[in-house]
Amino acid sequence: SQQGEEDPQALSIQEGENATMNCSYKTSINNLQWYRQNSGRGLVHLILIRSNEREKHSGRLRVTLDTSKKSSSLLITASRAADTASYFCATDEGAQKLVFGQGTRLTINP
């Protein structure tokens, strides 16, 4: 079953702008994670937010979590061409595995 669903499916912005991606999920979770995937490569972990946290920062990344709405957002500030990638949210579904969404394909135009 697909737990996380990202929105939008694709996003194209100019370098320097901020990029916001959203994720919705269905069941209760212990944590929500965001990953990045460059074309043809494996996923790289970006940030983890626990179910009792509302916001978390890491460098130019800001993640929010609203458990009442079962949603999360990932904000990348001051985007760079190197941020071009696909971004996935993943949740544990309260189980022992991570279930990934379909991803948002982010393109940063120079």
Partner 1 sequence: NAGVMQNPRHLVRRRGQEARLRCSPVKGHSHVYWYRQLPEEGLKFMVYLQKENIIDESGMPKERFSAEFPKEGPSILRIQQVVRGDSAAYFCASSLRTAATNEKLFFGSGTQLSVL
Beta bridge partners of 66: 71
Neighbours of 54 (CB within 10 A): 11
Give 44 or 81: the residue with its C-beta nearer to partner 1: 44
d(CA 48, CA 26): 18
Give 48 or 75: the residue with its C-beta nearer to partner 1: 48
Residue 42 CB-half CA count within 13 A: 2
Q: Tell the smallest beta-carbon distance from residue 16 to partner 1 (Å).
A: 27
Q: Tell the smallest beta-carbon distance from residue 4 to partner 1 (Å).
A: 8
Q: Tell the smallest beta-carbon distance from residue 49 to partner 1 (Å).
A: 9
Give 18 or 30: the residue with its C-beta nearer to partner 1: 30
Picking from 50, 102, 57, 92, the residue whose alpha carbon sits closest to that of residue 75 is 57
Q: Tell the smallest beta-carbon distance from residue 48 to partner 1 (Å).
A: 6
Note the residues at the interface with partner 1 (CB under 8 A): 2, 30-31, 33, 35, 41-45, 48, 50, 88, 92, 94-103, 105
Angle at 70 between CA 103 and CA 18, to 5 degrees: 50
